[in-house]
Structure 1
């Protein structure tokens, strides 16, 4: 399977395509990009809900596989859970920081 940023699966789980990068521009363009990103902030809640579902799902699958005593497979799903938790933290920080923007 090839990685394609314009695929529906990518856009369903990853939110970077919704925001403009304001780190490499200056002046009015930077201010406009920041205003745009603040306006897009409300979409982060939708992505947060999706990632919470993915986190809970992978954790439950991992716990079930641990109960069935398949340690290699449960480790894979627990690793996916940790990755999802990291994404949830990233979403939370982005939401809070965009809310504090002037």
Structure 2
């Protein structure tokens, strides 16, 4: 019964909202784990798959840069207009965390795009 499409995707074959939101923001579901490969052929296939999927990194970088700009913008707005101290700190912290995520994505993209398959 677990193999039916309705068990994972819902009644209409669509993904649940939280799954869609997760896939919209995070990219790990696109990539295969080479460490879980049982032999060199599966590891090679996983690496080739990951290199092919690295073309999606610019899309995720645009999404995360929008989150970063939103966080910095809201932080500046709350700091200047409302003279609040807790809300700007929260928005600036979220913006810094999303910027750190962008750096991780850039490094992963550079490594995958320039990796040599042997």
What is the distance in 1 between the residues matched to 2:51 and 2:109? 9
Unaligned runs of 5+ in 2: 1-15
Q: Deviations over 1:12-71 (max 9, x none)?
A: 000000000112323110000000000001101100000011100110000101112111
* 1:15 matched to 2:23: no
Q: Superposition RMSD on alpha carbons, in Å?
A: 1.3
TM score, norm. by length of structure 2:
0.79
Unaligned runs of 5+ in 1: none
* 1:99 matched to 2:118: no
Q: Trace 1:1-102 onto structure 2 (pairs within 5 A).
A: 7-25=19-37, 26-67=39-80, 68-102=82-116
What is the distance in 2 between the residues matched to 1:9 and 1:87? 17
TM score, norm. by length of structure 1:
0.91
Instruction: State the structure with bigger RCO (CA 8 A, min sep 6), 1 or 2.
Output: 1
What is the distance in 2 between the residues matched to 1:9 and 1:70? 30
> Highest CA radius of gyration, 1 or 2?
2
